[in-house]
Amino acid sequence: NAGVTQTPKFQVLKTGQSMTLQCAQDMNHNSMYWYRQDPGMGLRLIYYSASEGTTDKGEVPNGYNVSRLNKREFSLRLESAAPSQTSVYFCASQSLGGTYEQYFGPGTRLTVT
């Protein structure tokens, strides 16, 4: 069981460039999430997917798009990167039985110059 995997681990972009962050989980969870974490601000929800084929905006969706490719994979796309998108990005999947715990990937550290 790999849990939640994310690629890449690090990325540097120039303003205006685009990129896709990949996320996959092998726990058969329906719900998946993308967060960004900035110093002093905690985890903020960008987008989430309650099940395969559905996606919804979270607290800070502007500048991002997502695709729930199948039950395992949930990708986050930055179409035109801005310095304000410099952050650490975490993908998570959630168990809806018992503890509702979220399982997090190792994160992607993105710098936009």
Kindly determine how many residues on this chain lie close enough to bind another protein according to the rule CB under 8 A. 26
| Closest approach of another protein to the CB of residue 80, in Å | 27
Return the number of the residue (26 or 101) whose C-beta is nearest another protein. Answer: 101
Q: Which positions from 71 through 110 interact with another protein, judged by CB under 8 A?
A: 90, 92, 94, 96, 99-107
Largest separation between any pair of C-alpha atoms in the chain: 43
Kindly state whether residue 50 participates in binding another protein, applying the rule CB under 8 A: yes
49 beta partners = 32
Selected binder of another protein within 58, 61, 65, 86 (CB under 8 A): 58
Please name the residues in contact with 112: beta carbons below 8 A apart, sequence gap of 6 or more.
12, 13, 14, 15, 81, 82, 83, 84, 85, 86
Residue showing tokens 């509702």: 100
SS3 percent helix, strand, coil of the chain, rounded to 5, is 5, 55, 45
Kindly state whether residue 19 participates in binding another protein, applying the rule CB under 8 A: no
Positions that interact with another protein (CB under 8 A): 4, 31, 33, 35, 40-45, 48, 50, 58, 90, 92, 94, 96, 99-107
